[in-house]
Structure 1
Amino acid sequence: MEKKREGTLAIVFLALIQGVLASGAVEVKPSINPAIVGDTVTLSLSPSATLKSGSWAVGKTLILTWLDDQQAVFPSHSGRASVNFLTGALTLSSVKVADSGVYIVQSSDTQLKANASISVLETISNVALRVNQTDLMEFNSSAVITCSVSSGSSLSFLWMNGSSEVTESDRVELTDGNSTLTVVNMSRYDQGPFRCHVFNPVSNGSSDSVNFTIVYGPDSMALTVNGLNTTSFSTGSNLTMLCSAQSNPPAQLQWAFRGELLNTTGPLLELFGVSEDQSGPYSCLAFNNNTNMNSNITTHIIISKRSGSEQRTLNVCLLPLLFMSGFLF
């Protein structure tokens, strides 16, 4: 009676084990995941089990079958796959990107079926940029930059402009899995440097940077006289007018007085010992040969004699100096 009871318990215990195995409590654990091309990967069962027979497949493709201490490896994995006859662990050597997938183990003697996914990735090398052109007209050109690698799989792309990440906007497009960056209506603030950072779970790499030459202007002109905000001066003064314009390439600057061109070019106009008849509008004209655009700025200068009160004040200030000079002599 006792032996029968023990036998019944053993059958129940075995049934419980088989139920646990069949319910998915047994897991397949890869030794590396993701793996790099060329690695050796072992797929083991956890918790471990003793399997006398079974098969391994990736997706619907059989890799091998085994019974006791004999195995049959299918041609697709010949020379690269083997099984541990005791534990049923599968070892794959020299793995390739094509080896990525869901690996399934089945065993008839314990009614076991379990699976696990593995990824095999290629490391990234030689990240490079290709551009359509680098000399562009502001608001009239688009830049197209393509990022590529010599090797690598499961790639992700990150674009940088200087220290800032480039994201999509009304002027920025990311296409081809973010490997191509397009900036429409390029502005002077889009000069770069642009670079591409490529990464996957096992490696990363960055490209050299590329800069754009943006032709623009002239605009945002400024004109100062003796570095002051005032435009009124007394006769006999020396005036230095400074003109500037935002432009690339630098604008050609020409000066004009009362609408008539002067024989003065460049950012500076100097007048010495000015007189009243030099009062009037002074203009700085800017021209950019590359954009064929021009701009100008004008300031009205007033030159007048000192008033009588100003002259008397000056005389009063000079008297002590005159007395001191007489005393000394």
Structure 2
Amino acid sequence: MLLSSSGFLASGAVEVEPSINPAVVGDTVTLFLSPPASLKSGSWALGESLILTWLGEQQAVFPSHNGRALVNILTGALTLSSVTVADSGVYVVQSSDPQLRASASITVLGKTNTHEPISNITLKANQADLMEFNSSAVATCSVSSGSSLSFLWLNGSSEVTASDRVQLTDGNSTLTIVSVTRYDQGPFRCHVFNAVSNGTSAPVNFTINGPDNMALTVNGQNMTSLLVGSNLTMFCSAQSGPPAQLQWAFRGEFVNTTGPLLELYNVTEHQSGPYSCLAFNSHTNMNSNITSHIIIVSNWIF
């Protein structure tokens, strides 16, 4: 400690250092002198309002801080317990033996301004199977605990932002996509963060595709000609989620066969013509078809 010969502390020799700053309502805060100073007498004040005074070992605490304020005469430190927002401000310590004056400002935050760690992030969708161009996808992100939350949405690795079809509501915790397309399938995740923690939800996927990319094979090949008396096996496939319903037609008329296989035995020339496979996705409300023209001959012509 720097002392002048007249008993004065040199200017700037002592600083006030709060133990916590900012503090939270209910905390205990100690205002230390650095370096510590053994003061025979002095006072602490909040702005112009005295908190306490002391002379030797005798302390006098003013009513505004009765039971909450205590000075350590060996170090000059002031301890405040159960602080409130009203305890925010500039604290001033003064002493005449030795003579000094120092100050520091502290801030006390209300409970609503504190940050609680985030736990158990959950992402839920209103439904997973949607109808392309007609349905809206809604996903809601929630946490079991956490405060002062911010939400960031991801589709794959790309950030989701508001647009004509994309709405972010409820403090960005709810994502709504109107008139969904097959490009809105996800995976969607929500990333939640505050000043003290962060986390990301498990992914949610929507089913909005097909039927498309249809394929049709005849007897396991791409053949279109058969001999009379042969067996005809046609296999139809379509990319669709959920799987599409498959229906067969001959010359534009539905036949009594559903599913990916159409099997005909001992075919005749009268069974020549266009065979179509029609795929329908009841969730996307989309349909598609593929046709193969089959020729059945009595003899091969070379």
Instruction: State the TM-score, normalizing by the size of structure 2.
Output: 0.68
Residue of structure 2 in register with 1:302 after alignment: 295
What's the CA shift for 1:260?
2.4
Give the alignment partner of residue 51 of structure 2, picking from 65, 74, 77.
65
Deviations 1:17-76 (A, max 9, x none): 33465xxxx363435x7878876554545444556322247xx9x7x712123333637x
Once the two structures are superposed, the pairs formed by residues 183-222 of structure 1 within 5 Å of their partners are 183-188=177-182, 190-191=184-185, 194=188, 196-203=190-197, 211=204, 214=207, 217-222=210-215
Change (3 A) 1:126 1:266: closer
Residue of structure 1 in register with 2:43 after alignment: 53
What's the CA shift for 1:295?
2.6
Residue of structure 2 in register with 1:104 after alignment: 90
Give the alignment partner of residue 148 of structure 2, picking from 143, 154, 158.
154
Q: Is residue 2:166 matched to residue 1:180? A: no
Change (3 A) 1:296 1:67: same
> What is the aligned-residue identity percentage?
56
Secondary structure of 1:18's match? coil
Give the alignment partner of residue 104 of structure 2, picking from 82, 101, 114.
114
Change (3 A) 1:265 1:67: same
Residue of structure 2 in register with 1:323 after alignment: none
Distance in structure 2 (CA, Å) of the matches to 1:116 and 1:105: 8
> Which one-letter code corresponds to 1:66 in the other structure?
L
**The structure with more helix, counted as a fraction of residues:** 1
Give the alignment partner of residue 87 of structure 1, picking from 52, 76, 80.
76
Deviations 1:103-156 (A, max 9, x none): 532224433222255764334456555766666432323334443456533323
Secondary structure of 1:74's match? helix
What's the CA shift for 1:167?
2.9
Where does the alignment leave 5 or more consecutive residues of structure 1 unmatched? 1-7, 309-329
What's the CA shift for 1:269?
0.8
Residue of structure 1 in register with 2:236 after alignment: 243
> Which one-letter code corresponds to 2:77 in the other structure?
G
Distance in structure 2 (CA, Å) of the matches to 1:254 and 1:154: 55
Where does the alignment leave 5 or more consecutive residues of structure 2 unmatched? none
Q: For the aligned residues, what is the CA RMSD?
A: 4.3
Residue of structure 2 in register with 1:139 after alignment: 133
Secondary structure of 2:91's match? strand
Change (3 A) 1:302 1:132: closer
Residue of structure 2 in register with 1:223 after alignment: 216
**The structure with more strand, counted as a fraction of residues:** 2
> Which one-letter code corresponds to 1:186 in the other structure?
V
CA contact (8 A) 1:50 1:88 kept: no
CA contact (8 A) 2:130 2:283 kept: no
What's the CA shift for 1:283?
0.6
Deviations 1:172-224 (A, max 9, x none): 444454333333333445456655453434455666x5856646544443322
CA contact (8 A) 1:158 1:165 kept: no
Distance in structure 1 (CA, Å) of the matches to 2:137 and 2:287: 25
CA contact (8 A) 2:22 2:106 kept: no
Instruction: State the TM-score, normalizing by the size of structure 1.
Output: 0.63
Q: Is residue 2:249 matched to residue 1:256? A: yes
Change (3 A) 1:90 1:133: farther
Residue of structure 2 in register with 1:5 after alignment: none
Distance in structure 1 (CA, Å) of the matches to 2:261 and 2:179: 34
What's the CA shift for 1:282?
1.0
